Structure 1
Amino acid sequence: MTAATTAQNCATQASPTAPAIIRTSVRQHSIKVELCTPAIGAELSNISLADAAQDPDLIAEIRALWLKHKVLFFRDQDITPLEQQAFAAQFGELEAHPLAPSHPDANKLLMLYRNLDPNKQNFVEKISRENIWHSDVTYKKAPPRGAVLRREMGPENGGDTIWSNMVMAYERLPEAVKQRIDGLYAKHSAEHVFLAQYPKDERHAAAAKNPGNEHPVVLIHPETQEKVLFVNSAFTTHFVNYFNFTDIRYGQDFMPESHHLMYYLCSQAAIPEYQVRLKWRDNTVAMWDNLLCQHYAVADYGNAPRKMLRATLTGTSLS
């Protein structure tokens, strides 16, 4: 194992701890904050998310840490789906996924159940992929603001999730690239991802209900005002206002240049120095900002059953 890999794994490598933020009313029970990597991620302990949902001061502390570290991890959260939903709702309005089923007991929780039918407990074929770098549902005009994901059950080994800091990804771009992408917009779509498996007529009908949208390639985060590289391999299809009349000889010069730049930008999420990797256990919760970071769900656990529940925070229009 390399030093970079060891430092990347929050579950296996201890990092220097940041000072806990202490509320005067609960000094004896202050949350503990442990940094995961220099780039992104913190693990919070000495906290119950079910109780936190009833404490506005504690929610404010968690929100500040969430914005600072971009993804937060909580262990040993043996809570119900409704308690998970109630905690997530403290950070904003929740929304159901437009193309996937919700939990029967908590209608804003997305069921990410793999290799088993949630009702019959039979193995079923996976119909979507999360092992690609992406931010969730960026094809919407108002992509989700964030997510709260809890593992109900899963494999003993494998199934890690990786997050990447897209603020750092932008900051460390060469200056020439920053100048080239300034003012660019890109199209995001679900048709080639979620809808590709549908018959033609159903695909067209679903695409009409879930049309693609364009977003700035360099996004200004609505709360932190940080600049974020906002393109991803799953949903971003092309630039909508890319042009270059200075260096182009013929038409065939244009598209390779555009495609190469898009591929280069999307590949930034895969740089290990921008990442944190979580080894899940049952009742682990991850909470991340969907605008500030991308994530990748490692699909290395074969046919082992895996049950995850995700609450999704509604966003605002980026256009």
Structure 2
Amino acid sequence: MRIEPLTCAIGAELIGVSLADAARDDALFAEIKAALLRHKVLFLRGQDIGRADHVAFARRFGELEDHPVAGSDPDHPGLVRIYKTPDQPNDRYENSWHCDGTWREAPAMGCVLRCVECPPVGGDTMWANMVLAYERLPQHVKELIAPLRARHSIECTFGAAMPAEKRLALKAQYPDAEHPVVRTHPETGEKVLFVNGFTTHFTNYHTPANVRVGQDFTQGASALLQYLIAQAAIPEYQVRWRWQPGSVAIWDNRSTQHYAVMDYPPCHRKMERAGIIGAPTF
């Protein structure tokens, strides 16, 4: 296996390896996991594997999770089908910088995404290194956000277009989760900026140290949150991947965000994603 970094900030391509082999080879899997922790997202071309091998490889990281809105393959629970077709012009949940499932108390540890069908041009996906995004914040911002926690909501995102009854039922099933604004990666010990498109507000900003008058809270907290969320959009923290059928991306969901570029209508784009169950952030 050869590892070719794609940018100075994030991402590497694995060459000369089959994920079907890695699903059964402990030493090879250990090499891939070490590379993932180092580069945060890994890419492979020409993976002529089926759903069973896809799931088997992803399960080496941990058990898989279903998605309450996106559909899973009935024969492979946890393998979510992200199929975009020309008759879905308003389906735009992916083209926002986000970290998968932060509306859960235990967001996903990582994901393995395989391209089944893609347009001839367009449909790329971008990832951002949120460890680097935190490291390069001004020191006074780091000090301000160190104790902060924030809420993340499925109701305000996936549920927003649902009828009220379904939206409220979704929220009852997945109440808004609270996570630290700065998360510590459980395996590397790195500090991670952990707010994204699912984040709605800070839960402990309104203190005498931060709020003199109402505007400090309503406008001040909102402006700070939007500033932090916008860090993922800085190109120096990113890598961009052009898909081909059989391409695979593996990412550490704890230290990255991603954005699926929706620039390909009226073409089809069919992806299958195995999301690995994570742990609470505390």
Aligned to 2:169: 205
Q: Tell me how far apart the structure 2 counterparts of residues 151 and 213 of structure 1 sit (CA, whole Å).
A: 30
Aligned to 2:205: 242
* Structure 2 gap segments, 5+ residues each: none
Q: How does 1:46-195 map to 2 (within 5 A)?
A: 46-115=16-85, 123-195=87-159
Deviating above 4 A after TM superposition, structure 1's stretches of 4 or more consecutive aligned residues are 246-249
Instruction: Tell me, yes or no, if the aligned pair for 1:148 and 1:311 is still in contact at 8 Å.
Output: yes
Aligned to 1:257: 220
Amino acid across the alignment from 2:101: V
Mean CA deviation greater in 103-112 or 136-145? 103-112
TM-score after normalising by structure 2: 0.97
Q: How many residues align?
A: 282
Aligned to 2:253: 290
Identity of aligned residues (%): 52
TM-score after normalising by structure 1: 0.86
Structure 1 residues 75 and 247, CA gap change in structure 2 (3 angstroms): closer
Q: Tell me how far apart the structure 1 counterparts of residues 257 and 85 of structure 2 sit (CA, whole Å).
A: 24
Instruction: Tell me, yes or no, if the aligned pair for 2:122 and 2:264 is still in contact at 8 Å.
Output: yes
Displacement, 1:221?
0.5
Deviation digits for residues 108-130 of structure 1, max 9, x if unmatched? 200000016xxxxxx44554510
Amino acid across the alignment from 1:210: Y
What secondary structure sits across from 1:130 in the alignment?
coil
Deviation digits for residues 3-43 of structure 1, max 9, x if unmatched? xxxxxxxxxxxxxxxxxxxxxxxxxxxx0110000000000
Deviation digits for residues 148-173 of structure 1, max 9, x if unmatched? 00000110100000000000000000
Q: Tell me how far apart the structure 2 counterparts of residues 219 and 84 of structure 1 sit (CA, whole Å).
A: 29
Displacement, 1:94?
1.1
**Higher Cα radius of gyration:** 1
Instruction: Tell me, yes or no, if the aligned pair for 2:89 and 2:265 is still in contact at 8 Å.
Output: no
Deviation digits for residues 159-213 of structure 1, max 9, x if unmatched? 0000000000000000000000011100000111101111111211111011111
Q: Tell me how far apart the structure 2 counterparts of residues 192 and 72 of structure 1 sit (CA, whole Å).
A: 31
Q: Which has the higher contact order (CA 8 A, sep 6+)?
A: 2
* Structure 1 gap segments, 5+ residues each: 1-30, 117-122
Q: CA RMSD of the aligned region, Å?
A: 1.3
Amino acid across the alignment from 1:56: D
Q: Tell me how far apart the structure 1 counterparts of residues 213 and 206 of structure 2 sit (CA, whole Å).
A: 13
Q: How does 1:25-64 map to 2 (within 5 A)?
A: 31-64=1-34
Q: Tell me how far apart the structure 2 counterparts of residues 80 and 126 of structure 1 sit (CA, whole Å).
A: 30
Match of 2:236 among 267, 273, 279: 273
Q: Tell me how far apart the structure 2 counterparts of residues 284 and 248 of structure 1 sit (CA, whole Å).
A: 49
Displacement, 1:101?
1.0
Displacement, 1:57?
0.6
